[in-house]
Every structure is written in structure tokens, then in C-alpha cells.
């Protein structure tokens, strides 16, 4: 009986069917075969038995050199910030000592895998001399003995000076240690379903659990894992002084709203960048949009699955400064305090432009929320905000200075806001 996944369903059914179809196509195109696939299966089984494959089959016991790591993925579920998520468990096992390490992520795309491996290497304090993976990962593929690695993973390996070897995903014995580790860690650390406030909290729990299990485990030769782990560490490589930036760069053309689409999800660069070709850097947790000469257009959180375009309200400000009358229907209103929205609505086009420009410039240093709070404070004082005043107040709000007891006497700001008329825009 083959290995089965959740619910008793056979694993990798789709991949197996694809292999069968490919074999059938080759038989037809190369040999002109017209029979059934089951006839071929019976012939292969009888051929193997006749040549002694039945007697000489089975699995050989493998001995793994210190410093070698096996890598694999598993699936699990967790409740993160009240939302039930299907997550990926990246597991690294050192088969010589039996030490196991795991991190959770949203995807197993190349940038997520490299970021996860870099996190584990930093945790261990050394980098493996060789990584053993299978063709199911996004690191690379071995087809008829020839390996083709992804560009990002090749850069990752070069950064850490690690070698790589790829196994057949259907030959679990080639990296059985890590396949066993995936199930072991799920049963011992992820049952019942974890409930955490963030992915960082979940990974902290996984790290604590792995360290605890490694301290009480034993290597295959019976020695305590910590004792055998010292041999692994002695054979592993020192970490580079600079961290690896696990980023996948793609070129995208923004649509008429200034939205670029990466991996099926939209990210708002801003209306000012509509119909432009932009360079997008995709990382495990962020998406960075660059224009010509490397100018950063937007830095947005990474999103997975279907959903609305991910946006940063600050990216809308330049277009609203140019067209202040559009503020009445802009989605940026949802990101501002209600009092600030009402105050801006009461202004003419010139006043709106001045407020929005001051918010945009102050937000670059202090953040959008602090800039909005500063602009609202100035408006509540009876004055249309200017760049300098909003910037000073936003910096104090962002630093927490406005809430500190015994701080500066802020009544001076009230006097400043009441004085003089507005300067020309």
C-alpha cells in the first residue's frame, strides 16, 4: 500500500498520472505501441522478477557524512490572528546527528524557501556543506540525470558555498530522515492546531520545540543528538558576514490604475505609474516596486491567494495632490481618521492640495498614521497645515514624545497655529 495523505487519499496522484501519460506518449511516438498501459505494467513486473529485481530490491541502509542536510516541505494548518491558514512547514534535518529544524511560511516559492533556509542556518550558526532536496521543491529539477536549478537558489547556494543534490520525489529512502522528521514535528509540535497572534510567534514556538526535541533525541548510532551534532557543526561552513537577500525580481506593466500583478495578486504602485513597466522585487514578506534608476515606488506586504489589490495609502497621495477634487471619491478616505476626512472635505481645491502634500512629505519620515494625526491636529487648531508644521508634529507623534510626562510645553504650538495667515502654496 502506498503512502497516503490526509483523509486516506493517495499522495501525489496527479504527478503519478502525469508520469503515466508521458510514458504512454513515448511508447506511442517512439515504438508505435497500440496496446494498454496495464499490459506494459505486467511486462515490466515480470521482466524485473526474471532479472532478479525482486530478490535484489528493497532499501539499502545509507550512512550520511557530517555536515550534510536534507530538506523537505510539509503542509499543516494554524490559526493566526484569528484566521485559519494553510501553511508550509520547511524542515531541515541533519541525518548524521538526527537534529531537526523547522520554520513555517505561507508558500514554498523559491524566495520563501531561501528565506526559510537562511533563517535556519542562522539558528544553527553554520551552513551545511551539501543540501539534499527533491524535485518537488522550487530549488531545481533533475531530468534524465541533468539538473536545472532556479536562478535564485543558485545565488543562495553560492552565497553560502553549499553543494546540492536532487532526489526523485517518489524515492523516499533517498532522504528518509527528513521525510520522517516532517511527520514527527507535525505530530509533536503542531497538534492540536496552534493558535497564535502572528507567524513570528508561531516560528518562535517551533524553534523552542525543535530545540527541546533535539536535546532529548538520539542519533542513529545511539548517541545523544547533542553529542553527534558537534560533529555536524565541525563539518559545516561558517556563515557569510552579509545576510542573503532572498528576492525574486520580475518586470511587470502597471494597469491603468497603477496596479502590478505578481503571482496572481495585484499590488498598487500608484495611479501616477499607470501603464508603466516597473521592476518588482518579491520577497517572503514584502513586495517592492521600483521605477527607472532604482527609485522605490512602493513597499507593500506580501499577500497570498485571491483578494483585492494590496495598497499603501501613501502611494495614492501624489495623484491626489495633482487632482485634489478626486479626494471625495478616493479609497484613501478609508485609511484616514473621520475627523480629518471631514476637515479636508470642507476645504477648497487649493487647501486640499496643501494638506495632502504636507501629509505625503511628513509620512516619508514618520509614517502615514502619524502624518494624518499631525495634519488633523493642525486643522483642529484652526489653520491649514503647511509642510514644516506637519512634519515637526508627525515626528513627535511617531517618537511618542507627545505622550511623555514632563516633556516640552506644547502650548507653544497652539500659539504658533493661531498666529499669522497662511503662506502662499
DSSP assigned state of 240 = P
Interval 253-299: pLDDT, tens: 999 999 999 999 999 998 888 999 999 999 999 999 999 888 888 88
Determine the Cα–Cα distance for residues 95 and 74; give it in Å rounded to an integer.
18
* Domain residue spans of the chain: 6-50, 68-235, 248-311, 315-418
Stated pTM of the model: 0.72
Give the span between the Cα atoms of 229 and 105, in whole angstroms: 26
Q: Is the peptide bond before 192 cis (omega within 30 degrees of 0)?
A: yes
Query: Selecting from 2.30.30, 2.20.28, 1.10.1740, 1.20.1270, what CATH number does the domain 248-311 have?
Result: 2.30.30
Among the listed residues 107, 49, 33, the one whose alpha carbon sits nearest the alpha carbon of residue 73: 107
Encode pLDDT of 184-203 as tens digits: 999 999 999 999 999 999 99
Q: 194: which DSSP letter?
A: -
Q: Using 50, 70 and 90 to split pLDDT, how confident is the model at 11?
A: very low
Which of 244, 246, 216, 247 has the alpha carbon at shortest distance from 229?
A: 216
Residue 19 is predicted with a pLDDT of 63
Cα–chain center distance at 49: 48
Edge-first strand listing for the sheet containing 277-282: 248-253, 277-282, 286-290, 296-301
Q: Which CATH superfamily is domain 68-235 in?
A: Ribonuclease H-like superfamily/Ribonuclease H (3.30.420.10)
Q: Is 90 exceeded by the pLDDT of residue 92? A: yes
- The model's pLDDT over 204-220, given as tens digits with 9 standing for 90+, comes to 999 999 999 999 999 98
Query: What is the pLDDT, as a whole number, of residue 407?
Result: 43
Cα–Cα distance list, 82 to 198, 199, 254, 257 (Å): 9, 12, 33, 32
Detail the DSSP E strand segments found in 81-197. Answer: 83-94, 99-105, 130-134, 140-143, 146-149, 163-167, 195-196
Please report the pLDDT score of residue 253 as a whole number.
96
At residue 136 the predicted structure's pLDDT band, cuts being 50, 70 and 90, is: low
Amino acid at each position: 500500500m502506498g503512502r497516503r495523505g490526509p483523509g486516506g487519499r493517495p499522495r501525489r496522484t496527479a504527478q503519478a498520472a502525469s508520469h503515466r501519460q508521458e510514458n504512454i506518449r513515448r511508447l506511442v511516438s517512439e515504438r508505435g505501441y497500440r496496446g494498454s498501459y496495464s499490459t506494459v505494467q505486467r511486462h515490466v513486473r515480470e521482466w524485473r522478477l526474471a532479472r532478479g529485481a525482486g530478490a535484489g530490491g528493497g532499501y539499502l541502509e545509507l550512512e550520511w557524512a557530517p555536515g550534510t542536510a536534507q530538506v523537505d516541505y510539509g503542509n499543516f494548518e494554524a490559526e493566526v490572528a484569528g484566521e485559519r491558514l494553510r501553511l508550509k512547514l520547511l524542515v531541515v534535518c541533519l541525518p548524521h546527528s538526527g537534529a531537526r529544524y523547522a520554520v513555517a511560511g505561507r508558500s514554498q516559492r523559491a524566495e520563501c524557501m531561501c528565506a526559510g533556509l537562511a533563517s535556519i542556518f542562522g539558528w544553527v550558526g553554520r551552513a551545511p556543506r551539501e543540501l539534499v532536496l527533491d524535485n518537488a521543491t522550487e530549488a531545481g529539477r533533475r531530468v534524465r540525470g541533468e539538473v536545472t536549478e532556479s536562478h535564485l537558489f543558485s545565488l543562495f547556494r553560492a552565497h553560502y558555498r553549499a553543494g546540492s543534490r536532487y532526489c526523485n520525489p517518489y524515492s523516499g529512502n533517498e532522504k528518509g530522515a527528513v521525510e520522517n522528521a516532517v511527520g514527527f514535528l507535525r505530530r509533536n509540535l503542531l497538534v492540536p492546531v496552534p493558535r497564535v497572534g502572528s507567524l513570528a510567534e508561531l516560528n518562535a514556538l517551533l524553534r523552542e520545540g525543535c530545540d527541546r526535541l533535539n536535546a532529548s533525541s538520539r542519533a542513529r548510532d545511539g548517541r545523544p543528538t547533542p553529542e553527534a551534532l558537534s560533529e555536524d557543526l565541525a563539518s559545516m561552513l561558517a556563515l557569510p558576514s552579509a545576510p542573503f537577500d532572498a528576492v525574486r525580481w520580475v518586470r511587470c506593466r502597471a494597469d491603468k490604475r497603477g496596479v502590478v500583478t505578481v503571482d496572481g495578486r495585484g499590488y498598487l504602485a500608484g495611479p501616477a505609474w499607470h501603464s508603466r513597466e516597473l521592476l518588482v522585487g518579491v520577497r517572503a514578506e514584502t513586495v517592492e516596486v521600483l521605477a527607472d534608476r532604482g527609485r522605490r515606488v512602493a513597499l507593500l506586504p506580501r499577500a497570498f491567494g485571491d483578494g483585492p489589490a494590496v495598497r499603501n495609502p501613501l502611494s495614492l497621495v501624489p495623484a491626489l495632490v495633482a487632482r485634489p477634487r478626486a479626494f471625495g471619491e478616493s479609497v484613501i478616505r478609508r485609511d484616514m481618521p473621520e475627523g480629518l476626512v471631514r476637515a479636508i472635505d470642507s476645504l477648497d481645491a487649493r487647501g486640499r492640495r496643501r494638506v495632502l502634500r504636507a501629509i505625503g512629505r511628513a509620512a516619508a519620515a514618520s509614517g502615514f498614521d502619524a502624518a494624518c494625526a499631525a495634519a488633523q491636529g493642525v486643522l483642529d487648531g484652526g489653520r491649514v497645515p503647511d509642510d514644516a508644521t506637519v512634519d515637526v508634529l508627525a515626528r513627535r507623534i511617531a517618537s511618542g514624545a507627545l505622550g511623555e510626562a514632563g516633556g516640552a510645553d506644547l502650548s507653544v504650538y497652539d500659539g504658533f497655529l493661531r498666529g499669522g495667515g497662511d503662506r502662499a502654496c
